[in-house]
Amino acid sequence: MTALVELRELRKWFPVGGGLFRRKQQVKAIDGVTLDIRRGEILSLVGESGSGKTTVGRAILRLLEPTNGTIRFDGQDITHLGRAAMRPLRRRMQLVFQDPFASLNPRHTVERIVASPLAIQGESGGRERVMEALEMVGLQRHHAARYPHELSGGQRQRVGIARALILRPELLVADEPVSALDVSIQAQVVNLLLELKERLGLTILFISHDLSVVGHISDRIAVMYLGRLVEVAETRDLFRTPRHPYTEALLSAAPDPDPDARRRRIILQGDIPSPLDPPPGCAFAGRCRFALDACRAAPPPLRQVAPGHLSACIRDDIHLQSPLDEGATHVPAG
C-alpha cells in the first residue's frame, strides 16, 4: 500500500509573548511527527486537547506554515508551496469541521455553500452537481434552498461533508466531525463517512479524542501526546496490546457500553505538561506509573516494537492492560 501523505519530522512552533524586555517563547504544538497516511485507509489521530492533533491536520492542508520537517502529498513535497501552487492541489484534499454551526456561512443558502468549491475552483455543472452531492450525504433536494440555521446539527454536518466531497477529493481530514453532535446523531454521521469512504475511495485522517468512535471507524490509530506521537498501530493491535502507558490510560478511560463490565481505571495524576516548556525526556514520564530515571533523560524515539506497531516507550518489560482483557465485551471492528 502506498502512502498518500508522508510526514517526516514535522514541527510547528508558534511564537508567543515576547515584548520589549521578555524573551520570545515557542509553543511546540507539533514537535517532530513522522507518520504515513496510506491510500484508502482511515487513520485516526487521538489525544487529549492541546496534544497538537488539530495542528497536524491543518499543517497537512497547509493552512499553516510548518516550522520544519517535510509534508509530502502523493509524492510531491508541499511543505513550503505557495498559495498559487497549492490551489490545484486543494481540490484533492478537504476538511470537515468539528462545529457544524460555525463552519457554514449563516448568510448563504445550502446550495450556495455546497456550490462554493465549484465556484472557487472554477468548475461548471453547478446545480446538478450540488443536488447530487446533497443526495450523496442523505439530504433532499429541498434542503438546497434552506439556510444553515433552519437545519439540525446532524443535517448541517451533512452539508459540511457535501461541501468537502463535491470536488471528489482523495484525502479528507475530519477534525472531530462528530464530537459536537448528539450521541444518537454521531453514529449516523460516522456510518455516512464509512459508506462514503468505500463509495469514493477516500483516504481519511480522522482526528478525535473519543476512542469508542475511533475503534469503530479506523484501520490504524496514532496516539499523540504533547506534540509527539507515542504509539502507532493497527486498531485491533492497539486495543489488544497497547505498548505505551499513555495509550493504556486512554483506553481505560473510554466509556464501556456494557454497564456490567468492571475494569480497573487508570486515573492519571497531574496535567499535561506545558508545551512552552516541555520536560527534557519523555513528556509523559511525570504522569507514568512505570517511569524510570532513564525516561527523563532523553525523549524516547518512536520505534518498531512489533510488525506495524510503533511505540515511543523504552520499557519493553511491562505488561499493559487492555479493554479486551478480563472478558470485556467491547471488540472494535478492525
Partner 1 sequence: MSLALSAPAFRRFRRHRLAAFGAATIVLLTLGCFLGPFLLPFDDTTIDVMNRFAPPLSGAHVLGTDELGRDMLARLMMGGRVSLIVGFTAMAIGMALGILVGAVAGFHGGWLGAALMRFVDAVLCFPTIFLLLALAALVSPGLLSIIILIAATSWMDVARIVEGQVKSLRERDFAVAAQVLGASDARIIVHELVPNAVAPIVVAATLNVARAILLESYVSFLGYGIQPPVPSWGNMLNNAQIYLTSAPWLAILPGLAITLAVTSFNFLGDGLRDALDPRMRAR
Report residue 208 as a C-alpha cell.
478525535
At closest approach, how far in Å is the CB of 160 from partner 1? 8
CA distance 286 to 25: 22
149 or 264: whose CB is closer to partner 1? 149
At closest approach, how far in Å is the CB of 89 from partner 1? 8
Q: Is residue 312 within 8 Å of 302, Cβ to Cβ?
A: yes
* Contact status: 53 vs partner 1 (CB under 8 A): no
* Contact status: 105 vs partner 1 (CB under 8 A): yes
The one among 27, 95, 205, 285 contacting partner 1 by CB under 8 A: 95
CA distance 231 to 244: 6
* Contact status: 106 vs partner 1 (CB under 8 A): yes
103 or 218: whose CB is closer to partner 1? 103
Sketch the per residue contact string, 117 through 156, with partner 1: x for CB under 8 A, - otherwise: x--xx---------------------------x-------
Footprint of partner 1 on 243-282 (CB under 8 A)? none
Q: Is residue 252 within 8 Å of 266, Cβ to Cβ?
A: yes
Residues contacting partner 1: total by CB under 8 A: 27
Alpha helices per DSSP H over 234-325: 235-240, 245-253
Non-local CB neighbours of 193 within 8 Å, separated by 6+ positions: 161, 172, 174, 177, 204, 206, 217
* Contact status: 107 vs partner 1 (CB under 8 A): yes
CA distance 52 to 39: 23
* Contact status: 87 vs partner 1 (CB under 8 A): yes
Contacting range for partner 1; rule: CB under 8 A; set: 79-87, 123-131, 189-197, 321-329: 79-87
Q: Is residue 53 within 8 Å of 47, Cβ to Cβ?
A: yes
* Contact status: 104 vs partner 1 (CB under 8 A): yes
Contacting range for partner 1; rule: CB under 8 A; set: 106-114, 195-203, 237-245, 279-287: 106-114
Exposure of 322 in the CB half-sphere (CA atoms within 13 A): 19
Sheet holding 203-208, edge to edge: 93-96, 171-175, 203-208, 42-46, 220-225, 228-234, 309-311, 303-306
99 or 256: whose CB is closer to partner 1? 99
The one among 26, 44, 51, 103 contacting partner 1 by CB under 8 A: 103
Q: Is residue 330 within 8 Å of 256, Cβ to Cβ?
A: yes
- Give strand pairing partners of 12: 30
Amino acid at 143: H
Q: Contact residues for partner 1 (CB under 8 A)?
A: 61, 63, 83, 86-87, 90-91, 93-95, 97-99, 102-108, 116-117, 120-121, 149, 160, 163
